[in-house]
Amino acid sequence: MKLAKLLAQADGISLHAATSDASAVEIDAITFDSRRVEPGTLFVALHGAAMDGHDFIEGAQAAGAAAILVDRARAADFEGRLDCPLLVAEHTRQALGPLSAAFFGHPADDLYLAGVTGTNGKTTISWILDALFSAEDPQSADASAQKSAPSGLLGTIEYRWGAHREVAKNTTPESLVIQRVLADMRRDGVERVAMEVSSHGLATYRLGGTHFDAAVFSNFTQDHLDFHGDMDTYREAKGRLFNRLLPASKKAGKDPVAIINLDDPAGDWFAEQARAAQVKTFTYGQSSKADWRATEVEQTLHGTRFLVRAPDESFRIRSKLMGEFNVSNMLAAIIAARSAGVSQAQIQATLAELEAVPGRMQRVEATSADARAAQPAVFVDYAHTPDALLRALETVRPLTDGRVVVVFGCGGDRDRQKRGPMGRVGVEGADVAIITTDNPRNESPEAIIDEILVGVDEVVADRVGVCVEVDRARAIKKAIDLAGPNDAVLIAGKGHENYQERDGERIPFDDVEFARAALDAKALPQEQVGQNAPKRIASWSLAKIAEAIGGRLCLDHIEDAPAPESVAALCPVGVSSDTRTLEAGELFVALRGENFDAHDFLGRADQGGAIAILVDRVDALDTQLPLVVVEDTLAGMSRLGHAIWNEARDAGMRTINVTGSNGKTTVKEMLALLWGARARVFATPGNLNNHIGVPLVLCAIPADCERLILEMGANGPGEISQLLALAPGEARVVTSIGLAHIEGFGSLDGIRRAKSEIFENPSADTAAILPFSESSNLVGPDFAGRCFTVGFEAGADLRVELLDGADARGALGFTMAHAGQEYTLHLPIPGTHHALNAATAIATLIAAGEAIDAPALNGALAKLALPAGRWRIVEQGDYYFIDDAYNANPSSTIASVQAFVSSATEEPSPRVVILGEMRELGAEAARLHCEVAAKVAEFAQVDALVCVGEFAQQMAEAASKVRTLEVAAFEDVEAVGPWLKYIVDQRGLTRILLKASRGARLERVIDLVVATGEK
């Protein structure tokens, strides 16, 4: 498009300074991102919260910008400095909408466009409208006339028309996206479009130049105050749809209509805005004052019936949608559809068949139809504001004869003011409230829950009927397990979302799928319930436990003690040593430490629902629970774990022991995936790999476990030997040898000796899997078992070679050769060390005689997702963080940097390495830190090195001696932020690796950047 033509169609933009042929300049694209400028692009300099596009004009011009648009207040700064036309608008943010509309040919003018705004209901109304807009006319005799033109939808979930689908990134996208999508819809024959209009989109002028035929107001309640600041500003933003955009649409030649919910307290205000702008206005609701009314409303678990009464017509509606709010949503959509020419018959037929909008009062049922009659009614809803939660609970309450159980939480990094009210509404509206995690983002889930509980305490002093379960999956299962056939369960907050946002990552999580899984498990006969769970200990009575560990049952302290034989027959469902995570029915183990003695807090075990307590003293104990008394509780728990493992082994379970300086957890996760495709697997949860964790894992072995993967850690000599004695495996793995925890081992040789303990007392069938480079150090020539070595070296039994093409997010390719066969494999994570980890895990399959098939291996490994702090990617504007700060030692740090500099990038960008402290290195700590810094400096791809912590200055000096690169040293993490901001402001997109031991908390660098909203 010629620039002159574009300016003629876009109001408020003028030429400030032009080249001689400015009017003939051809504009091929528009962007506000200087990195996307190409010859022929019009660059719009937007002023953002953290960055100002005017600062990037020189770069845009250098990239070939055809013209540049600036704020009028900045025009003088660039006059005479540009080789391309300089365009001026009062505010470029406000000008971008009309400019985008003009560039794409004002597509909205050729469509019937209905916009929907409101705190709640936007998605549902838009989905209903989309269905009505594309409905067939059942009363038309002409079959061809029955079919409507395809309709379009722009909403929270997706942008769609015909067979086209795009996942939505924002409820209301940027102006350029809006106009591009509308233009594509027009091209493909779409005639009617439903669009969600958010307050964010209105406040940031994204809808400028978009002309509407109808605008719906659904309701107005508290939300988004983190963005708007107060309720008046929030309301004013939504009002722009009616007092600015509709009048502009009228001026453009349309005859728009405002559709206002008069049942909402803010309805009168919104109606006044539209009427004052001389826009045709219809009100709706169940109020007698409304123009369109819903009367004779009937609701059941199967749907809703009501009568529509309008000034000139009335007709009945039958729908599968439930709830008073959905009556309101349907009524709004009906008015907009009638205004667009959709017939009564089309509306009635469509609403009768329309299924629930995903995640909006969506009914979830067990897979088996036979099981459904005996199960609770379960609903998943997006309600994430106090008002929406109240409406959802009010919908469910009259539909059940039993209890209402609600599961809900609040999102992190969002409006904190609504957390207390959410707690209050949840407790007041339900019989049982389970408070859990929503999308914590970068906040602590526990801290969010504490703020919700403030509202709970305002209503229920003793929190009767209130339960906290941080893990959302367990919360959903707990709710469904608690509910009976006449009860209803409402799972609120996430709705259609199929992920959970934690620490900058989106982890797959779908409320609907977890609810259905819980219903399916609930439907199983009792003897089958444990396919997914019961622990082997659930069949162990207290009498059997006491006998196995050399203890005795004690009831002497209990008032009105039950019969000893009845207590002896009790079976715990599990074992716990922490009252904070204790579950009802578990055996609590009262451990002692240097600074604590759990015997002093046994009352908490009573409150947590423990079935009994393992103790080593009986005097002055605050409990009325049965006791199992032993000389030492940790030793007793270890003996119990070993006894349970023995029973499982006798039943056919096989064990894989895993240790190493680096890679234990990653190899464990790989083993779980590879073996999980072949057997029922139980792997060490979290980091339960020490003298307390391993016995707890053994006590948690599921009854149907076929393969146990047991991670073993150590801080000193003899510890692996003790852990191995509890559960010696048929396969024993050492992942690597490096300088980790050297404080406890004394030297690298001390680490080798300690790790080699895993190979003690082998049988002829024992398989030792270990690095080729360390094989002679870890096993001797008299080793009775079989050895499988892994490495890049030619002599390794499993030889690994890397393929080209690793990138930052995954796609690490490698070949693995064994016994004359070669396999091409891929991992979704970068890092050459991970290729060795994968081959190490595969070696356990080979050792067990399992068939090796590359497609099957790749299918299993493709599901690999590393825990937080292990190559976690966080993108915040021009900050591209790779958080690998879960733990660190010299060898793992170098491996991490190697992966960092080897990963491919879509475009060149500077690489910054931030090194924190590596803990437990003993007297050699200073020297080792300096050696690591010097080795990092040897990587030519590293543009800057930041050293943080006690040895920072020495590390920086060591690196500077290797080569000239940008080096900085800081004593604490907080000081890194300003330095990093300067680098990113100067250089744009920057890739940043964080590497340190967990205790250094280096990830706070990311938290600081996110908290300050840096872009």
- In this predicted model, what pLDDT tens digit does every residue of 401-451 receive, in sequence order? 888 999 999 999 888 898 999 999 999 999 889 999 999 999 999 999 999
Q: Give ranges for CATH 3.90.190.20 in the chain.
A: 362-523, 872-1012
User: What sign does the CA torsion over 353, 354, 358, 363 have?
Assistant: negative
Strands 821-827 and 944-948: unpaired
Q: Measure the CA–CA gap between 296 and 327, rounded to whole angstroms.
A: 11
Are 348 and 143 within 8 A, CB to CB? Answer: no
Superfamily of domain 3-103, CATH level 4 = MurE/MurF, N-terminal domain (3.40.1390.10)
490 φ, ψ to 5°? -110, 120
224: left (phi over 0), alpha (psi -120 to 50) or beta: left
Q: Measure the CA–CA gap between 416 and 766, rounded to whole angstroms.
A: 56
Q: Measure the CA–CA gap between 826 and 862, rounded to whole angstroms.
A: 8
Q: Give ranges for CATH 3.40.1390.10 in the chain.
A: 3-103, 536-631
172 is in an annotated binding site: yes
Q: Measure the CA–CA gap between 32 and 57, rounded to whole angstroms.
A: 10
pLDDT of residue 149: 74
791 is in an annotated binding site: no
Q: Measure the CA–CA gap between 244 and 899, rounded to whole angstroms.
A: 53
123 is in an annotated binding site: yes
119 is in an annotated binding site: yes
Q: Estimate the share of the chain in helix, then strand, then coil, as percent rounded to the nearest 5.
A: 40, 20, 40
627 φ, ψ to 5°? -115, 145
Q: Measure the CA–CA gap between 890 and 912, rounded to whole angstroms.
A: 18
799 is in an annotated binding site: no
pLDDT of residue 178: 93
The segments of the chain whose pLDDT lies below 50 read 141, 143-146, 525-532, 806-810, 1014-1015
Fold of 872-1012: Protein-Tyrosine Phosphatase; Chain A (3.90.190)
Q: Measure the CA–CA gap between 486 and 568, rounded to whole angstroms.
A: 35
120 is in an annotated binding site: yes
**Residue 889, Cβ density class (10 Å: 0-12 exposed, 13-18 middle, ≥19 buried):** buried
DSSP 450: H
Are 965 and 945 within 8 A, CB to CB? Answer: yes
Q: How many residues make up the chain in this entry? A: 1015
| CB < 8 Å & 24+ apart, contacts of 67-71 | 67/3, 67/22, 67/25, 67/27, 67/42, 67/43, 68/42, 68/43, 69/13, 69/42, 69/43, 69/44, 69/45, 69/95, 69/99, 70/16, 70/45, 71/45, 71/47
223 is in an annotated binding site: no
495: left (phi over 0), alpha (psi -120 to 50) or beta: left
| Residue 458: CB atoms within 10 Å | 14
664 is in an annotated binding site: yes
**Residue 957, Cβ density class (10 Å: 0-12 exposed, 13-18 middle, ≥19 buried):** middle
The residue among 885, 867, 819, 902 whose CA lies nearest residue 670 is 867
124 is in an annotated binding site: yes
**Token pair listed for 970:** 């800081």
535 is in an annotated binding site: no
Tokens 């493992």 correspond to 645
CATH code assigned to 653-861: 3.40.1190.10
Q: Measure the CA–CA gap between 162 and 813, rounded to whole angstroms.
A: 38
| Residue 180: CB atoms within 10 Å | 18
Question: Which runs of consecutive H residues, i.e. helices, occur in 312-365?
Answer: 324-339, 344-353
What 3-state DSSP class applies to 982? helix
Which CATH architecture is the domain 362-523 placed in?
Alpha-Beta Complex (3.90)
Q: Measure the CA–CA gap between 128 and 148, rounded to whole angstroms.
A: 15
**Secondary structure, 3-state, 56-75:** HHHHHHHCCCCEEEEEHHHH
198 is in an annotated binding site: yes
Superfamily of domain 106-140+147-353, CATH level 4 = Mur-like, catalytic domain (3.40.1190.10)
735 is in an annotated binding site: no
Tokens 């001797």 correspond to 780
659 is in an annotated binding site: no
666 is in an annotated binding site: yes
Q: Chain-centre distance of CA 961, in angstroms?
A: 43
532 is in an annotated binding site: no
Q: Give ranges for CATH 3.40.1190.10 in the chain.
A: 106-140+147-353, 653-861
Rg value, the chain, Cα: 33
The residue among 623, 530, 643, 535 whose CA lies nearest residue 579 is 623
For the sheet with 872-876, list strands across it.
872-876, 879-883, 990-995, 911-915, 944-948, 966-970
Q: Measure the CA–CA gap between 822 and 813, rounded to whole angstroms.
A: 13
| Domain 536-631 -> CATH class | alpha beta
820 is in an annotated binding site: no
Amino acid occupying residue 346 = Q
**Token pair listed for 429:** 């509206």
121 is in an annotated binding site: yes
Q: Measure the CA–CA gap between 599 and 629, rounded to whole angstroms.
A: 12
pLDDT of residue 877: 82
440 is in an annotated binding site: yes
100 is in an annotated binding site: no
837 is in an annotated binding site: no
777 is in an annotated binding site: no
850 is in an annotated binding site: no
